[in-house]
Chains A and B, each alone.
Chain A
């Protein structure tokens, strides 16, 4: 018996010591390494989803293309803490990871792509919130868990430098894997890089003299290629094969949520008045009266009434799994920017009308509808004012993130964007998002400093470039 006991104890002891105790805790479910080609699709896809959500659920409301008939807090400027773009930081982490690996591997194209995507996302963050973490952001793996916020001015200096650097890094003779935006076409990336550069320079054009920097880009098309047609557009097109479906289309979302935002009087009336064929592309007539009736923006909830009385977002965009796209930046937008720059004599190339005409024409092309032949001569001819330019740009920016809001903050155009009858916020159109509330818990010191630097974390504080 004693032998038996000793035997048992020995077995116990031996098995306790061996059996790779240390290996038990090795996670074999997931990889410890992920190269840029695996990370890049995630970055682009997440960015695309963020962009679609931003456009369909929020951007269109704040820019008064549409109004929410049921939860109208956004419409009447009853805004609270908002994390909708803060989530981009997690995406930026993959971008930083790609950049680090690209530098280590000497892969300039991945590095440049990372810089472009990083600048793009950072610009949306700072344009929405104002000061945001930048220099210390995305360094959790180096132990920074509560990054300090940088001023928008310094962020802009950095991202503009990054775009210059990215442009110099691109090697258009080679390609990259995992690029679901441009399928490895580095020239298209380079064009996006410089077109974005133009957008961001124009963004700060009320604050800084950007004419020299713009001219340098425009005068060297071979060194700084820009979008040359709609083929170059930075638009993510969902394949329509699950899970590659837009978050607002059938199969991913409810019809109810797609239709909860109904087109406004601004959008419907402008399109109807202009006899603009984009109307039929974008909007279906109201179910009740089969007519194009828009919703007045910013109505108090109790005056909205039945959604069936209003025109609706086109069903085709919901029904087709691949029709909604994530629009980052287009050839049309570039030309609108250049038209404005020319009009304001920031650049002296070509004519504002030329750029304007190209921009309008490109927008029709982009949406696959024919521009009526008299559109640029009779309906909406260029007339040397910001008003027509920005009305047309506003139309062209439909479904494009919150871009039209950024334009409004900078220019006050189109001037029909005004608080509705139900608006709270003392009759002001909001100019920024409130930081996510969790920052008050996890990054309070830096949060307080940032809030103080803009005169309080409220929706009326202006970001640095916003001096309209």
Chain B
């Protein structure tokens, strides 16, 4: 059949050739509007297979016949059609697409479309904007750049996770509010796999090994498109209910020069905000020095007292000299300047039939905590090949090797750095602690028996990992004819993450030492096909597609830990001398999907998209495992129909409605027993499973407008959206007296409503000077409409010290609950007879961790080769609980604990009289009982929570691109250098900490709670880009 068809084509073309003797050779030069030659422009004789590409100087030669039409097309530029008359030389100037408002964007399934045809909101960041500053977690670079996208860093060291939420939280499962990450059409894993327990787990604090997408090499990224709403992401199905981050990597291009690029980034980092440590009083209590005291309620540090001091050299051997009591504590003696060196070398190019890009990136970071690092090596190859005029294959492979010799535990516990820094003495010189063993592997030089030495933690409490990850895909596009094409694709994301932890003998938590190994294997394979039919009928352009996807996910987690070692200093399985605890669990999941969609356009000003998808998930019970969801979206361009005046260059109105179904995690249907602590024992699970679970459904509506005004000097985009998510599959807490802690049910109706506004203004636009200002504003309110009959609150996550994140009917998503002050009817704090504030035994709403609104502001100024870019992030509202504050009060180390040291404190508020009335509190309470006692007890969530509003100078870059002349004199195509920085400044009312912190509970990021996180860093350095 194929052979016959080819013969037929050959026959007809020969015939045509002979019949048509008017074929001529057309030549010409293709340039952009600035007169620069454009290489690699595709020149096709319309309705034939005849096509060529322009060379490096923009020249082309093609054979065509009179009366035929030549089509010139180039990515990012408006295509042009020219009728071949008698002329043999056709010079063409292509206009950049943005100039003419034709913006090609990548949409779901990697389909590129004209933005005017889209009935939903999508925002793009190109590589230039994304790569201004390099970061070890590229997700953090998205912060503030896109309206409605909230990125929150963690403060857990170099491998910190970033939590990203688009358009507010709609899921009652706190780990399910993130978007789907898709790289070149293939979904990738962005999970956080924690190790360790809760943030205050004394025995086993968690380590943050980062979110999966952090590993994507930002230098390989061509563009990031954010699909915010369900309509935009409906084709990705279940997992895209919270939006999609669509990443397109760079491909090879025909170009001048060798196609070799080199970029190098050198960044230094230092703590953005350190504690405000008090320097007036030393260790002890009642203004008296005491070496064993936890607290700094001791004497004035005026140097008048000379005493043998805990922590001083020789103290533990009884050989310490008396020293004057003075302030010596300096956090900068512990933290160092971090450094990240990132080098990328890439080669790319193209021939008539193929494109290729090969890149290698090495990233090497040292953290602000001594002996912490992160190393990434990343190799990627992307290539395409046209087998024939109808068949094209694409492939990309990306291998990422990440490893760290030490990532830290974070949280409140004796193994925590910040814990042992805050439980410390202001009269201690931290350098005294550098020599951290008294007797190696037996006794530490630590201030307290219940803590570890900070330098010992950094140097010996190792949490290392080595993660190997392959992202790969191969796809084929076959064009049966100009109307019908078939895409088939297989993509894989496979990672093996091997982690090990060491604790030497003599650790306060592991007196006999500890060695642990953890292995996390993950693979996801996606197989897709997509059959598309494209045709224009008169004024109508149409495209119909049918596709299918199968997703297979496999996760395997194994764990082994032995809390005792035979020989000190040897860390491996064979050196464990106790019964280790061990586990291994495998999880499998499959989703089969069929979908179809239609795109219909009328006269290029009215567009309708309809999509439909059906999923079959292995995780749902047989009768409920198939679920269908449609979407429809509409785009209308009034400026193409009506004249709205000269000021309005372009106006687009869009409207859409969509629903997305969702499944759940594996193994939630049938009861199985858990292993007990003793080997060979079993115990009932803590959860009631449910084999009647139904799929979750999210429905969303969105309306928006996009405009270009005043000769495109002003661009504006506004979106209003409302979404309802219902039937959520949640583990609802039940009374423990029922024998279990929670049960899985379908429950909840969460409504999200919000607006997103983007405004771009170009106040100055001259030939060699341009200044543009951009603002992204978003405001979102997620409301809990209902849970399930009889239940009006749901604990989404447990924070430290009794604090919870709860969904309560009528409340907002992200509400923080916990204990707070007992208050009189008029809202004053009530004190007891000792002068201590009384903690109300009823939990109350403390606040909400989500900001009321977010604003990203950026300014870009360029003059000739100079470029100045600055971006500010503003988050207004929201609360954060700070355990640093609570403990800083208890230990008396922080300046917030200074008032009333010598006079005692009278807490502002009232006491309750015997007759039930209230009178002002006049009882003086000692500083000891106030700070170390009750006033800021850590479980008083209210007392330690703050307005988390902040403004951050997120990015700053001052760059210079050398002129072509200088570049070519240096024998390079392009050369640019820049001074760059991120997180450079912070303005906030929150004391002592960066409000952009979140705790970690195992593998769950806990927004709204700061539990002795490490300081976040400001990063600054320089970047060089060279193209050869």
Contacts and interface: CB of A to CB of B under 8 A. Distances in A.
Q: Do A and B bind each other?
A: yes
Interface of A: 1-3, 5, 8-9, 12, 15-16, 21-22, 24-34, 38-39, 41-42, 45-46, 70, 73, 78, 80-81, 83, 86-87, 89-90, 92-94, 96-97, 132-133, 137-141, 144-147, 178, 180, 241-244, 250-251, 254-257, 300-302, 305-308, 422, 424, 434, 436-443, 446, 457-458
A236 B790 CA distance: 42
B735 A244 contact: no
B736 A25 contact: no
A31 B739 contact: no
A463 to B, nearest CB: 17
B322 interface: no
Nearest to A436: B736
A251 B680 contact: no
A140 B743 contact: yes
A243 B480 CA distance: 66
Given A32-B671, A93-B684, A243-B678, A70 B550 contact: no
Contacts of B806: 441
Contact of A301 (B548, B578, B929): B929
A21 B590 contact: yes
Interface of B: 1-2, 202, 285-286, 290, 292-294, 414, 448-450, 478, 480, 486, 488, 508-509, 511-512, 527, 529, 548, 550, 563-564, 578-579, 581, 584-586, 588-590, 592, 616, 618-619, 622, 666-667, 669-684, 686, 688, 732-741, 743, 790-791, 793, 795, 802, 806, 819, 832-834, 836, 839, 841-843, 926, 928-929, 932-934, 937, 939
Contact of B934 (A9, A27, A29, A78): A78
A87 B735 CA distance: 11
Nearest to B687: A140
Of A22, A28, A90, most buried by chain B (CB within 10 Å of CB) is A90
Nearest to A178: B681
Given A244-B678, A256-B448, 7 more contacts: A15-B550, A46-B676, A242-B564, A301-B932, A424-B833, A441-B793, A443-B734
B673 A139 contact: no
17 contacts: A15-B550, A16-B548, A26-B667, A30-B674, A38-B676, A39-B681, A41-B681, A46-B683, A92-B739, A94-B683, A138-B739, A146-B734, A147-B737, A243-B678, A440-B842, A443-B737, A457-B841
Of B675, B683, B736, most buried by chain A (CB within 10 Å of CB) is B736
A232 B684 CA distance: 29
B448 A242 contact: no
B550 A12 contact: yes
Contact of A442 (B2, B508, B734): B734
B819 A80 contact: yes
B792 to A, nearest CB: 8
Contacts of A438: 733, 735-736, 795
B839 to A, nearest CB: 7
Given A21-B618, A27-B672, A440-B842, A140 B449 contact: no
Contacts of B733: 438, 441-442
Contacts of A436: 736
Nearest to A302: B928
Nearest to B926: A302
Given A45-B677, A93-B684, A8 B737 contact: no
A38 B579 contact: no
A80 B839 CA distance: 8
A334 B286 CA distance: 48
A75 to B, nearest CB: 12
B543 to A, nearest CB: 19
Given A1-B2, A34-B682, A45-B676, A87 B736 contact: yes
Given A16-B550, A42-B682, A146-B734, A32 B673 contact: yes
Nearest to A97: B684
Nearest to A70: B294
Given A12-B550, A243-B581, A32 B737 contact: no
Contacts of A97: 684
A241 B841 contact: no
Given A78-B934, A307-B292, A242 B734 contact: no
B678 A306 contact: no
Given A96-B739, A301-B932, A254 B450 contact: yes
A25 B681 contact: no
Nearest to B286: A302
Closest 7 CB pairs of A and B: A93-B739, A256-B450, A302-B928, A42-B676, A145-B734, A140-B738, A133-B737
Given A90-B739, A139-B739, A256-B508, A31 B933 contact: no
A42 B677 contact: yes
Contacts of B529: 8-9, 12
Contacts of B741: 90
Given A41-B681, A45-B681, A146-B738, A25 B667 contact: yes
Contacts of A137: 737-739
Contact of B678 (A33, A41, A439): A41
A243 B579 contact: yes
B563 A242 contact: yes
A28 B550 CA distance: 23
A145 B688 CA distance: 10
Contact of B586 (A15, A29, A45, A300): A29
Contacts of B667: 25-27, 29
A90 to B, nearest CB: 6
A424 B834 contact: yes
A305 B202 CA distance: 25
Contact of B738 (A21, A139, A242): A139
B698 to A, nearest CB: 22
Contacts of A42: 676-678, 681-683
A34 B512 contact: no
A42 B673 CA distance: 12
Contacts of B684: 34, 39, 90, 93-94, 97
Nearest to A79: B841
A243 B414 CA distance: 21
A30 B294 contact: no
A251 B736 contact: no
A133 B527 CA distance: 52
Contacts of B680: 38, 41
Nearest to B592: A16
Given A31-B672, A90-B740, A244-B678, A251 B564 contact: yes
A434 to B, nearest CB: 6
Of B589, B833, B841, B932, most buried by chain A (CB within 10 Å of CB) is B841
A115 B527 CA distance: 56
Nearest to B665: A25
A81 B841 contact: yes
A25 B294 contact: no
A438 B817 CA distance: 11
A255 B986 CA distance: 41
Nearest to A287: B292
B26 to A, nearest CB: 32
Nearest to B583: A29
A457 B564 CA distance: 44
A63 to B, nearest CB: 23
A382 to B, nearest CB: 42
A96 B679 CA distance: 22
Contact of A86 (B550, B589, B622, B736): B736
A308 B292 contact: yes
Nearest to A16: B592
Contacts of B584: 29
Nearest to B390: A1
A4 B202 CA distance: 61
Given A12-B550, A38-B682, A301-B932, A439 B672 contact: no
A39 B683 contact: yes
A28 B449 contact: no
Contacts of A26: 667, 670
A144 B735 CA distance: 9
